[in-house]
A and B are shown apart, each in its own frame.
Chain A
Amino acid sequence: MQGRLSAWLVKHGLIHRSLGFDYQGIETLQIKSEDWHSIAVILYVYGYNYLRSQCAYDVAPGGLLASVYHLTRIEYGVDQPEEVCIKVFVSRRNPRIPSVFWVWKSVDFQERESYDMLGISYDNHPRLKRILMPESWIGWPLRKDYVAPNFYEIQDAH
């Protein structure tokens, strides 16, 4: 089963892989990290002018890291806008993904959070630094192989 956007991308010779549909029937595509910036520009030109959310997760212990983008095409007079979900997978050894900050500005803090939590470094992001953890923190807290330091917290106080 091929979605609309996937067919359109095939027609224009853009490399991607369809990951099927999620429970709401939204098309999910996988895109290589080296193609991601150019395809993001193409999708913006195609009409996806709204980045609804960006998030990241650790796929499996020792496996890949994923960065997920939910795009929406906002137009006047449309009550069911076109949506698509893009996933970009990178290896945890050298996690580099081109930033789409210069395409969708709203990704700014969300990419910073993904960097902070999973250590994915977004190339060309203007101020990629930790946003939740202190700047001197070591390690990426949401990776599955993260070992929390044995910091003292008050737990027993009555």
Chain B
Amino acid sequence: MKEETTIAAPAGSGADIEAAGGMGPLRWLALIVFAGIVAVPLFMTSPFYIHLAVLVCLNVTIASGLLMLSRTGQLSLCQAAFVGVGAYVSVLTGTHFAFPFLLSALLGAAASALVAFLLGAAILRLRGVYFVLITFAFGELFRLAMLQAAPITGGANGIAGIPSASIFGFDFDTRKAFYCLAAAVALASLAFLLALFRTAKGHAIDAAGQNPNLAEATGISVRNTQLFAFTVGSGFAGLTGALLASYVGYISPESFNTSVSIGVVIMLVVGGRNSVLGPLIGSFIMTPLPELFRGAVQSQNIFYGVALILILRFLPQGIAGLRLFRRIEGEQV
């Protein structure tokens, strides 16, 4: 014990509770590699690869939203429904009221956040598996409701011919242009996460997730913290929905079914449920996989199952739990 006492850090200055380590050479290198990867699609000519890059960006945003909730110790199986709420609201306000894209996209995000807030306020008393089951049911409810509300949503035929996004007169009508938009949103969501987990609110989220009883006993309302994460995270999903609709140009209830929600959960588990890098790594790996396994559609779910079991067994913190990534994140390893 004696040795440790001598190397203890000097008294903190108020900032060190928020510090995430300095910018060592490893972190600079990681940042440069990351910037390179972000820039690569701009120089690609294959529309297919740019398309994949766009999907990765959209998935990063959805998974970032879910990460907040997962760090409060909860899990949602209806993120796709919130993507759907955002998509439908933005498309419908765009076509019926001729709102500009930016406004209808923000309305879509706000609508998702509002729905999540109401749902969360009603069911976040439930802990553990009950909450997960109800979100699963809500996802199905949303899909069925969109199918039934055919006069507004087009039912199973969906809505086609959605115009591409346009912000302040700039049209994101090419794949590359849209990639820039999607990447900007994805980077913004990651930046938000990094900033969030340095605030007191971020610490409260971790406290609620890691030891809910202790958190309650120190004045942190676990329920309110989870409600906050669920609301904000679903807002992320809603914003992504608006982007997705304008990118693909077509939405239908099936675009937002439960397997999409489960896909996001898998990304988070593979990437890392407790790290800001998790959504990034998970989306980067899991988004292209279905495309690579196109020839083996039947067996692809088996691969997922095996991969999930292996990850949970040997890397419970996901790929972000590897030493390299933990050091990049600023942990002393």
B is bound to A: no
- Chain A contacts to B: CB under 8 angstroms: none
- Chain B contacts to A: CB under 8 angstroms: none
